[in-house]
Structure 1
Amino acid sequence: MPERIPVAVFVSGGGTNMAALLYASRLPDCPYDIVLVASNNPAAGGLKLAQAEGVATFALPHKGMTRADHDAAMEAAVVEAGARYIALAGYMRILGPEFVTRWAGRMVNIHPSLLPRYQGLDTHARAIAAGDSHGGCTVHLVTPELDDGPVLGQIPVAIVPGDSAETLAARVLFAEHQLYARCLADLVIQPHA
């Protein structure tokens, strides 16, 4: 198999999507390798898991820093780790347009709705309130506009009677874990990679 493509993952919390990407990378036919897990939250559970799994980590709180300075520090860690792609996995900080532009076509995000519906937060509650038959998740390329980049893949998830935002979110998370690793693998083996 050809050399695996190095990927950095940005997290802010528990890191379940990072874990899904990491464990998928351990399969023999996976084309990528997680070389760094980075966070703006030194207490992020995703960092502890990455350390336990032997993956390099980087943590730098953003409080008291300009967005440009924090972005530069995160990017320096990515470059030092040798990553060629960045996967955002519950990274709850908007990256500046200069950073995003430098990684155009090489940075992906997963969002808990069927974009372009319900960009931003509270996606599950909004889908339920609208009477939608399905929520779901989307993997997309990151652009300077929030949750607006080209879609790489989606999985619809049925909204069942009596669903709350929490029960729907739990099912969507299963779909996210299936979709993200597949879309990231497909992206890194594209001819432009």
Structure 2
Amino acid sequence: MASVGRKLMGGCVSHRGWWNREVELVRSSGSPTLVELRSTSRTSMFHAFGVTRNAECEERSPLGAETSGKKWYRFLLEPAHTHVVVQRVASSGDAGGFGRWQLRILPLEEARHLSGTVRGESGDVVRCPEGVRAIHYSFDQRSASNEIVIIHMSPNGKKVTDLTTYGLVRGTLRIPGPGYLHIGAAGTWELSV
């Protein structure tokens, strides 16, 4: 069942739902989509990922975001994605309940700008300016025991550089030019140029 979105000020489209839902992406083609997701409950968790669907096939991307508590998690979807799917994470013995979520599709201009040092927690998206060719990163120890992801996506939505690691909490990532960094980690992080 698809979710019906509400258009908000500034070009943001908001969707609300419970349990598993699919949201159609209505946007201009040729650029990535900036998405925010959160649970409206402290105890419910959700996964979100992009889906590319056309007459010939349907393909689901790897996990875009995973919520925990009421914090907003930002992530990027590639231009080919036509939908975003939100799925509740539940154990086999889960009694159910009303796990509710909120999803917002934001203008790309809402991504934080990387200038000097940027700090964050968990999932976020940072915009890289022209001329930056190396990003220095540092993650806290809580992130070290979980997957750490940094994906560089060019302004046209092509994934250019992908760093996925366990345990590497500090280093330098070379990038080919301007674009967006999708950061995924369990804890706090810091990026600098």
TM-score range, shorter chain: under 0.3
* More strand by percentage: 2
User: TM-score if structure 1 supplies the norm length?
Assistant: 0.26
Query: Per chain length, whose mean CA-contact separation is higher, i.e. which structure has more relative contact order (CA < 8 Å, sep 6+)?
Result: 2
User: TM-score if structure 2 supplies the norm length?
Assistant: 0.26
